[in-house]
Homo-oligomer: A and B are copies of this chain.
Amino acid sequence: MPESHPFASQMRRLIDAAIVAGTPYASMLLDAEGNEIALTPNRVKQEQDPTSHAEMNTIREASARLGSADLSGCHLITTCEPCPMCAAAIFWSGISKVTFGLSIEGITAAGHRQIPLKAAALLKHSRNPVEIEGGLLAEEVRKLFPKKAL
């Protein structure tokens, strides 16, 4: 997928944020006008919190900032396809659009354990359709995983 993708610059920023945080996982939320509301990495190890995936942190931070559990109209951009925990959080928050880099299959191939359930399989149950696009800068994201696992 080309650098000319409309959200390539945001994905590039996420990749940089992930490198700084020492994880392959980072995500951000844009509001309906395209304003950045939150940008967070995975913090499971640092916080010893198994729920501290990048997308969960982004959703929690964005909700706190907006003062609302309803994030309908918002767009989540994330380096890796949301796992079922994060996909269900997207469902509950009403996020309207998801753009990700590396797929769950790609994460697994890169050596990280995953639950083999696609985000789309969960989000098809959403009240309002969720637009999902994967593969943005996926090869760059793949390089975030430890070399030994490749």
Stoichiometry, copies per complex: 2
In Å, the complex CA distance between A86 and B87 comes to 11
- Complex: chain B residue closest to A93, CB-CB: B50
Are A60 and B51 touching (Cβ within 8 A)?
Answer: yes
Chain A interfacial positions (CB closer than 8 Å to B): 44-45, 47-52, 56, 59-60, 63-64, 67-71, 83-89, 91-94, 113, 115-117, 122, 125, 127
Are A69 and B85 touching (Cβ within 8 A)?
Answer: no
Q: Do A64 and B49 form a contact, CB below 8 Å, given A88-B88, A116-B125?
A: yes
Are B89 and A87 touching (Cβ within 8 A)?
Answer: no
Q: Do A89 and B85 form a contact, CB below 8 Å, given A44-B69, A50-B59?
A: yes
